[in-house]
Structure formats: C-alpha cells, structure tokens
Amino acid sequence: SAGPPGPPSRVGPDPGAAARPKGDGREAPVRAADLLAEVRDCTPVSRGRYRKDSGAPADIPVCGKRDAVYWKADLDVDCDGVPGDRCNSGSDPHFSPATAFTRSDGRPLDAERLPYVVVPEPSDIWDHRADDVRGGSLAALVHGDRVRYAVVGDVGPRDLIGEASYAAAEALGVPADPHGGGAASDVTYIVFKGSEVEPIEDREAAEKEGERLVRKFMADD
C-alpha cells in the first residue's frame, strides 16, 4: 500500500495568504480583502463617470489595470432573459425576455440560474469593447467577505452602472428581489480583459476560470 501523502505542493506564483493550500492540496478560495486590496487605487479608463441610479450623482469611474477593468457601485437586480418563477413580467416591471448576449443555442440567458453582470451601453463615457470586454467575459464580484464569479451577460443604459443578475445577487448573499432587492453600495465588479467563458452559460467553467484569473491578477500586480 502507498505511504502517507507528502506535503501539498504549490504550483505557480504565490499571491500570499489568499492562496494557502487546504488540507487536500487544493488552494483555499481567494479572500475578499486580498482581492479588494488589488483594486484599491483607480486609474480611470472611462472618459466620464456613471450614476448608480437615475437622478444620482455621476461619480463612479471605470478603472483599469493591465488585465482588468473594475468599478465599485451598488447592485441592482437584472431579471432579464428566460422567464421563470422569480424573474418574469409580474415580478419585475422592467422585465425583458431578451438579453444582449445569448446562450450557445441562441436563446436568452437565464437570470435566475446564471450569475451575470451588466455593462453600460457603449458611449462617449466608456466603450467596454475598447478594453476587450465582451459577452462572456469573466467577472469577479466582491461584496462583504464574498468573492463570486460571473460573466458579462447584458447591456444596460448608457449612463448607469452597477447591475447584475438575480443569480449573481443570490450568490453574493444580497436580496435578489428585482423589485426592491439588491445592494445600495459596496459591490466591486472586476472584469478580465480578453477573457471568455465558452459556452457562456457554463457556470462551473466560470467559477474555475475565475479562480485562475483572479490568482494571476493578484500575482502579476
């Protein structure tokens, strides 16, 4: 029979406490505090600033580093896409059965099941495409002590920022009700340039790729 296993090995760069190996040799999840430390400073890539809600001051810039863009805002719940028990025209007065980006079979995304984030419509404030962000790009969401992974799945109003799907809100522990739910502040959105989850609806692939990209982002800084 085999002898006792040796000490867990570490592959690649060590971004610090965020990547301590667990007892089974796998790395522990990235800590929210460690990831937030990487995006504490802001070099704006947007020409202007966004509002978190209609009528609110335009004071939210989109910031950038070599491998990612990021912003800190509220979280309004997007229920658009395939109608379900929680997301439908009855539960959400602004419900739309379409999403800007679609699943691999051409159908809209499912906000109840797929964590996705919403980027503003391209404008003279910021055009996400110029920073190599597209439908299916990988995003990390941070709120409180939680880090969760999502994809870019929809496009919102040109002057507003801070929106994610029902499933993303639920994953972050935020009230997911599209009418009155969400988080008023302190949600950080980090979107990785040039990334893509394929197929876009593969939640497991997003989580796996998210962990990899976040560790690379922290190690390369």
Mean pLDDT of all residues belonging to the chain = 90
**Structural domains of the chain sorted by starting position, each given as residue range(s) with its CATH number in brackets:** 28-220 (2.40.40.10)
Q: What is the pTM assigned to this prediction?
A: 0.88
Contact 41, 48 (CB under 8 A): no
Tens-digit pLDDT profile for residues 86-111: 999 999 988 999 999 999 999 999 99
Tens-digit pLDDT profile for residues 49-71: 999 999 999 999 999 999 999 99
Tens-digit pLDDT profile for residues 78-88: 999 999 999 99
> DSSP of 125-147, one letter per residue?
S--GGGGT--TT-EEEEEETTEE
Among 62, 107, 52, which residue's Cα sits nearest to residue 84? 107
Q: Looking at the predicted structure, is the pLDDT value of residue 5 above 90? A: no
Q: Tell me the mean pLDDT in the region 163-176.
A: 97
Share of residues in the chain with pLDDT > 70 (%): 88
Q: Looking at the predicted structure, is the pLDDT value of residue 32 above 60? A: yes
Contacting residues for 127 by C-beta, under 8 A, at least 6 apart? none
Handedness of CA 48, 145, 154, 209 (dihedral sign): positive
For position 29, what pLDDT does the model report? 85
Tens-digit pLDDT profile for residues 136-168: 999 999 999 999 999 999 999 999 999 999 999
CA distances from 207 to 57, 70, 166 (A): 34, 18, 17
